[in-house]
Every structure is written in structure tokens, then in C-alpha cells.
Amino acid sequence: MELFVEERALKYTLTQNILKKFPNYTIISNYEEYKWENLPEEELITLGKRKLFLIHYLGDFLKPCPGTKNYICCGYKIFHIGEGCPLDCSYCILQIYLNRPGLKIWANLLEDGLPFLERYLEESKRKNLPLRVGTGEFTDSLALEAITGISKSLIDLWKNFDPFALLELKTKISLSENFFSDIVGDRRVIFAWSVNTDRIIRNEERGTASLEARIKSAELAIKKGFSVAFHFDPIVLYPEAEEEYPALLETLLRRIPFHSIAWISFGTLRYPKALKDIAEKRFPQTKIYSSEFIEGLDKKKRYFIEIRKKLYKAFSKLIRETMNEITYYYCMESERIWKEILNANITKNEELISRLDRVVKKLCFL
């Protein structure tokens, strides 16, 4: 991996920590003026996954989840640590969300970002407002952790500050016992894995950990004293999907203690229509865009609602058997899905937020 550092980013602690590990780097005036190779967009995206930029960030460190319009959103907060992901999934929306390629880390995160987050947590605690904070929206929370150490800094913040909030670190990588050796377990910190069937991981998720490695990592996190979560997202339609996805959930429920699971979410494949063209150029073997889709209320391509219901119903038996012990939810779905699949009256964001805030209260007051 090549490392590039903005001149104005050199002074920051995170930059200096990273340069101790990577003494060979290139100083640039700023990211916006970096001269990229004259390549097609799809090739630049791939090339960018091998270039890491340390940037002096001037934007907001805390953002609301972008969610989607006209569907129910969980309303969590994103602590914005950077953009881009070294992993390479065929359905990844970052392929079109980012204006420029490359992996970007905010060099001033420790000096500017963490103090801002702490002030926000303090204010929320003073007002007795539960929070859910995640870092995995514009990047994988842990894929660059060996380089940056950002997540461990956040875990320390939670341990030292005692906020009325949960921290979710969402990833598709595996973690070793050595990773957990120097951190103290905290139930309010959730190690979360996006999970999929072996077939989808093998064919559509380049560079990610195997399903078994993700589950073993979750077991290690629990052993250390952390909570875990799992996100079935995206659920992809293929002939055996209705058998293989519930089998995956059954495996998780068999191996993971219910009391250690913060939540499990479900969401079927959805994407902006511009993604299909770039993804099929980058992943010519992919078949996931060949199904029939309809344009949803949020202008994203989605499976027809009867197909989504069919995929969700495949989980129904297992969910009914465990829903008194585990919090399940749908990611960016309609109230009709909630009602017809779970018989739940979730008609607006606030009702889902309330459901998940109950988990915050449970884990913060254990």
C-alpha cells in the first residue's frame, strides 16, 4: 500500500503514529490536487484501494446516518473516521458515493474529532438521551485498524468516559486473540459483522473474511466481554437463498449466546441505478444485478416487494422463536414489511429508534 500525507496533516498525532509503522511515504500539498493516473473510472477505484491518504479534515465528524427517504431508518449517528474501504464487494455503494478514489483517513481525528464526540456524548448524557454511534458507514470500521488504531482509541473513550451510548464497530474482517489482548471488554461496545452466505462471500466479497472466521471473531469478542451484532445485508436473491440464509441465522443462534447479541438486522439488495454499470465493469462475473428490480420510493433499485417478503419470511420461524430474547430489525424497509412479516407496528423512524434505544438502556445499565 502506498501512503500519501497532506502537508497540513503531518503535525497530527495519528499521522505520527502511522508514520512510525510506514516510514516510506509521499508528502502532497493536498488530496484535491493529487494527480491520478489517466485510467477508466472502474480501474481508478481498484487502484485507489492501494493508496492511503492522511488528510486534514474540515468537515463534520459526527453525522446522522444518511438512511434513505420514504423508508424506516434506525437513526444512528456516524462518527466519521474516513472514506473508502480496502475490501472490495461487488454491491458496495462506495463505488459511486465517493467523488475521488483512494482510502482516506482524517489525520486530525484525535485532536479534533474525539473531543467533539466527547462533548456530544456529555451533552446527550446530561439530557438523558441514549445514543448509538457507529463508524462503519463510509468505510469498514476495522479493516485499517492495524494501521490507524482508531477503534481502540474509541474503546478507550467509552471506558474512561462512561457515556449513555453504544459504540458499534461494523466490519467484514476477522480478528485474532492478539487484537483483544490489550483492550478491556465493555458491553456497550458492539463488534458487529456484516454476514452473508458462503456463496455470496466467495463470489461477491473480495478480500473479506470467511463466514467461519467472522463467527469465530465474534466468539472471541464475547469471550473478552464485548457485545456483538450481525447484519444480514444485503440479502441477495438466488435459487437457494431461502434455504441458505435461514441456515446461516440458525448457525449464529446455535453458536452465539443470546444475551451477548445486541441486535440482528436484515436488508435485501438495493442500490442507486448508477451502481450497476460501474459494478458490472469491475465485477464481470457477478450475477446479482441480473434479477428484476423496481425503482423504490427512494429512487434506489429494489427487489419487488413480494420477492422481499419471500426472502424475509424464510427467517420467520427462527425469529418468532427468539424475538423475546433478541432484538431484530429491518434496515431501510417499509412499514408494510414490518407489519406483514413481524406483525409489528413500526410506521416511522421514531418507533424503530425507540426499539433500539431500549438495547442502549439495557447494556448501559447492566
Assess if residue 79 is contained within a domain. Answer: yes
Taking CA atoms, 160 is separated from 7, 99, 118, 157, 207, in Å, by 32, 37, 11, 5, 34
- Is-cis flag, bond preceding 239, omega within 30? no
Assess if residue 253 is contained within a domain. Answer: yes
Assess if residue 144 is contained within a domain. Answer: yes
Assess if residue 109 is contained within a domain. Answer: yes
Cell of 167: 459504540
Assess if residue 241 is contained within a domain. Answer: yes
Number of domains in the chain: 1
Q: Mean pLDDT per 10-residue run, the chain (366 residues)?
A: 97 97 95 92 94 97 85 94 97 86 97 97 96 95 97 96 95 97 96 98 98 98 98 98 98 98 98 96 97 94 97 97 97 95 93 96 90
CATH of residue 235: 3.80.30.30
Q: By the 8 A CB rule, do 144 and 21 touch?
A: no
In this prediction, residue 191 carries a pLDDT of: 98
In this prediction, residue 91 carries a pLDDT of: 98
Assess if residue 82 is contained within a domain. Answer: yes
Q: Which residues pair with 26 in a beta bridge?
A: 4
Q: What are phi and psi of 172, to 5 degrees?
A: -125, 15
Assess if residue 204 is contained within a domain. Answer: yes
In this prediction, residue 82 carries a pLDDT of: 97
Assess if residue 354 is contained within a domain. Answer: yes
Q: By the 8 A CB rule, do 71 and 334 touch?
A: yes
Domain extent for 88: 59-364
- DSSP-derived 3-state class of residue 25: coil
In this prediction, residue 98 carries a pLDDT of: 67
